[in-house]
Each structure stands twice: as C-alpha cells, then as structure tokens.
C-alpha cells in the first residue's frame, strides 16, 4: 500500500482513506496475504504507521523526487506481488497494480487546483488508465466522469465507496467547545481552506435572513489559493464574533465539534466522495450539500441540496434545519441510517477481491 498521503502537510480525506483502508485490509487479510506500506523518504514516518500493516518502508527518494520519478516512469520500484496506490502517486509497473482515483477534478474543475497539480494529476491518472489492472473510485459520479474521459478503461473502473470512521466524542466534549467559545447551536463546515470547497459561498450565505444570526464554525487547515475566511467575512458583512476558525483538530476533537453542531454545510464546487458529510450523518448531524454529483449521491436523499455558487439557495437550505426542529430530527435519523450502509471492512473485502481474483 502506497500511503504517502498520510505524511502530507494536509492529509485531508485522501489521507484518512489511505489509513482506514489499509488498516481494514490488514485486519482481515485474504488467506496467504499480508499488508505492508511504503512511503517516500521522510525523517519521521510515524504518522504513516498503520495497525496490522508492516512498515512503513521508506523508499530512497523524498516526496518531490518520488513524484517526479514516478511521473517519468522511473525507479524506485516496490518489490511486492501486488501494489495498491491509495492516490494517483503510483509506481510504473507492467502488472499487479491497482490505483485509487478519488475524483476527476483535474478535468472537471481545473481552476480549483494549481496548474502544476492539474498537469501532474492528469499525467498520472492517464498512465493508470492505460496500465493499471484496475482503477478504484469512491462514487458512481467519479466513475461516470472517468469513463467519459477514458472509455477504453471503462470496464476496469470499480466503484468502492469509503467507510465511515467511528468518531466518538470525548467525555469533556462540552468543556472543549466551551474552551473554544463555541455557541450552543452552529453551522459546521469541515474542509481544507481552498477554492474547491466553496467556503467563499458559505460565508456570504451566513449573512442572509434564513440563517438569522447563526454562528459558523469551520474546521480545517489552510490550503492553497489564498482563501482567507476572515477577509471574506469582513467583505460579506459577517461579524467576527459569528465566525469560529479551528484549523486542524484531532479525531476526538472533531467528534466534540460534531456533537455540538446543528447542521453540517458542504458547499463544495466538486467532490469525489465527501467523507465529512458521511461522518456528520453517522454522528446524527443533518447535512446540507451542494449539487455536486458525488455529494448528492452520497447524501442519498437524506440531506438537503443547494445549488452550487448560490449563497441564497444555501442559506435557504440551512434555514430549514435551523428553523424547524422536526425536520432537523427527521434528517438526523435518516442520516444515521444512511451512514450505516458504509463500512471500511466491507470496502476492504471488495478490494481484496480485486487484488486476488
């Protein structure tokens, strides 16, 4: 398992996928198989240590060099019967390779990535489409996008949804929220601060009448693109006391924040899956998502949908949850039932089938 994303400055949802899928594969290995992990050369690789898996094995190239070497089809090689790349960062192999492609954003929304990121991802995904034994994607939306771009690879694209990670609120959850000066009710968004996440649409939505003075809590580290929510809030007229920025938090802290949230907003311009939405549903938090196809697919009719790039539509949907306790309770219960359909162990079993068939 190539789990380099676990060591990224901003691991994000793909980092959680790499960790959780690897742990699930290692917990229930196919007979006669074992799981080991590989990463680029880092001084400290402890963040990529995954229970049940041997490793991580450090390759001789650092991250930047490894990315360039594998882009050009050069070593370092990985000596294993099978290799699973948990992102498009994959070695060049003639056989025995499966690659997870999380989204088609480099083609559908290239403006939300850096130019270098677009070029690198397009090249790596093209090669995977040409040479990998199979491609794993997290949603039908991504499968449709990629099959349209690479029709010859359509029969090698397999949809294996993510699982849901159990996020248990700590005993001192209320104390943590008090320490962060969070109110009793708030709109929550869990996202890296980058253009694709649509936070620049969410902040103006919070100034509109349907949300009636509600507070906004954003959990997530800074990304690329200069998305400064403090500046965006000032320009939109959202008072500073209604905006709470928590940056990076642990899983237990995230569970504490989810436990106090009234609704989760996911206004992304594009997604491949939407782990924060699934984790919110599992925690019983009603969700409002954009009409990005993968988010609509994930919400499965148990979340409210708002048109992308439309603050008024987003505010109206949030207002339904904030202003109607009966509707909020119904969405909460439906979300829990929907989240119960997702399991890392089931996803891992399907992945073992791909590797060993």
Inside any domain, residue 68: yes
Going by C-beta distance under 8 Å and a sequence separation of 6 or more, which residues neighbour residue 214?
185, 186, 187, 206, 242, 262, 318, 322
pLDDT, average across residues 204-222: 94
Show the tokens assigned to 61: 């190239």
Task: Provide the number of structural domains found in the chain.
Answer: 2
Q: Domain with 244 in it: what CATH number?
A: 3.40.50.2000
Same domain, 158 and 182: no
**Model confidence at 90, in pLDDT bands (50, 70, 90)?**
very high
Q: Are residues 252 and 330 in the same domain?
A: yes
Q: Summarize the confidence of residues 73-92 as an average pLDDT.
A: 96
- Same domain? 193 vs 304: yes
Same domain assignment for residues 246 and 328: yes
Are 265 and 350 in the same domain? no
Residue 117 exposed, middle or buried by CB count within 10 Å (0-12, 13-18, 19+): middle
* pLDDT (0 to 100) of residue 67: 97
**Is residue 96 located within the same domain as residue 115?**
yes
- CB under 8 Å to 123, separation ≥6 — which residues? 71
Give the SS3 label for residue 306.
Answer: strand
Who contacts 135 (Cβ-Cβ below 8 Å, separation ≥6)?
Answer: 98, 99, 100, 101, 128, 129, 146, 153, 156, 157, 158
Please check whether residue 237 lies inside any domain of the structure: yes
Q: What is the pTM of this model?
A: 0.94
Task: For residues 249-260, give the mean pLDDT.
Answer: 94
Q: What is the pLDDT of residues 93-121, one digit of tens each?
A: 989 999 999 999 999 999 988 899 999 99
Interacting residues of 87 by C-beta distance below 8 A, sequence separation 6+: 2, 4, 5, 14, 18, 100, 102
Q: Are 99 and 153 in contact (CB under 8 A)?
A: no
**Bridge partners for 265 per DSSP:** 288
Domain membership of residue 58 (yes or no) is yes
The answer, yes or no, to whether residue 224 has pLDDT greater than 80, is: no
Q: Does residue 150 belong to any structural domain of this protein? A: yes
Please state, in angstroms and rounded to a whole number, the distance separating the CA atoms of residues 217 and 134: 39
Q: In what order do the strands lie in the sheet with 243-247?
A: 243-247, 215-219, 186-190, 263-266, 287-290, 304-306
Residues in the chain: 357
Angle ∠(105,109,113) on CA atoms, nearest 5: 75
DSSP of 106-161:
HHH-GGGS-HHHHHHHHHHHHHHHHH-SEEEESSHHHHHHHHHH-GGGGGGEEE--
What pLDDT score was predicted for residue 78? Answer: 96
- What CATH number does residue 155 fall under? 3.40.50
Q: Taking a C-beta distance cutoff of 8 angstroms, is the pair 273, 138 a contact?
A: yes
- Contact assessment for residue 248 and residue 192, using Cβ atoms and an 8 Å cutoff: no
pLDDT tens string 114-172:
899 999 999 999 999 999 999 999 999 999 999 999 999 999 999 999 999 888 899 99
Provide the mean pLDDT of the chain.
95
| pLDDT tens figures, 288-346 | 999 999 999 999 999 999 999 999 999 999 999 999 999 999 999 999 999 999 999 99
Q: What local confidence, expressed as pLDDT, does residue 112 receive?
A: 86
Q: What pLDDT score was predicted for residue 248? A: 83
Q: Are residues 318 and 229 in the same domain?
A: yes
Question: What is residue 223's predicted lDDT score, i.e. its pLDDT?
Answer: 76
Which band of pLDDT confidence, cut at 50, 70 and 90, is reported for residue 221?
confident
Radius of gyration of the chain (CA): 20
Residue 300: predicted pLDDT: 94
- In this predicted model, what pLDDT tens digit does every residue of 12-30 receive, in sequence order? 899 999 999 999 999 999 9
For the cut 80, the answer to whether the pLDDT of residue 178 exceeds it is yes
pLDDT for the residue numbered 225: 74
Q: Is the pLDDT of residue 239 over 90?
A: yes
Domain that holds residue 66: 4-163+343-356
Which percentage of the chain shows pLDDT scores above 90?
91
Stronger pLDDT, 263 or 10, i.e. the higher one: 263
Pick the range with the lowest mean pLDDT from 33-37, 84-88, 159-163, 164-168.
Answer: 164-168
- Do 146 and 228 fall within a single domain? no
- Asked if residue 351 and residue 312 are part of one domain, the reply reads no
Say if 168 falls within a structural domain. no
Rounded to the nearest 10 degrees, what angle do helices 251-260 and 275-282 cross at? 60
- Provide the 3-class DSSP secondary structure of residue 54: strand
Same domain, 188 and 98: no
Residues 288 and 322 in one domain: yes
pLDDT on residue 165: 87
The pLDDT value given to residue 227: 86
Percentage of the chain with pLDDT > 70?
100
The reply to whether 194 and 75 lie within a common domain is: no
């Amino acid at each position: 398992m190539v789990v380099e994303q676990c060591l990224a400055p901003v691991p994000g949802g793909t980092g959680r996928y790499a960790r959780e899928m690897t742990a699930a594969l290692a917990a229930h290995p196919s007979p006669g198989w074992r799981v080991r992990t590989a990463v680029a050369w880092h001084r400290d690789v402890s963040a990529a240590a995954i229970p049940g898996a041997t490793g991580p094995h450090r390759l001789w190239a650092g991250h930047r060099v490894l990315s360039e070497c594998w882009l050009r089809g050069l070593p370092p090689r990985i000596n294993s019967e099978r290799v699973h790349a948990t992102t498009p960062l994959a070695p060049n192999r003639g056989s025995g390779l499966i690659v997870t492609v999380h989204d088609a954003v480099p083609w559908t929304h290239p403006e939300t990535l850096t130019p270098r990121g677009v070029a690198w991802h397009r090249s790596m995904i093209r090669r995977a489409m040409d040479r990998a034994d199979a491609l794993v994607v997290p949603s039908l939306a991504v499968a449709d996008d990629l099959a349209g771009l690479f029709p010859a690879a359509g029969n090698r694209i397999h949809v294996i949804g993510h699982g849901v990670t159990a996020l248990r609120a700590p005993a001192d959850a209320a104390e943590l929220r008090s320490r962060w000066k969070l109110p009793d009710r708030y709109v929550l968004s869990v996202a890296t601060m980058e253009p694709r996440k649509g936070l620049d649409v969410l902040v103006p939505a919070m100034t509109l009448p349907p949300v009636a003075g509600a507070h906004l809590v954003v959990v997530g580290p800074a990304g690329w693109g200069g998305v400064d929510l403090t500046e965006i809030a000032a320009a939109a007229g959202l008072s500073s006391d209604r905006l709470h920025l928590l940056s990076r938090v642990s899983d237990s802290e995230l569970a504490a924040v989810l436990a106090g949230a009234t609704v989760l907003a996911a206004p992304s311009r594009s997604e491949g899956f939407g782990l924060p939405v699934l984790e919110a549903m599992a925690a019983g938090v009603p969700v409002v998502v954009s009409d990005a196809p993968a988010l609509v697919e994930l919400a499965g009719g148990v979340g409210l949908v708002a048109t992308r790039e439309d603050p008024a539509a987003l505010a109206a949907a949030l207002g339904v949850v904030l202003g109607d306790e009966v509707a909020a309770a119904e969405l909460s219960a439906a979300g829990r039932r929907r989240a119960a359909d997702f399991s890392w162990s089931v996803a891992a079993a399907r992945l073992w089938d791909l590797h060993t068939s």
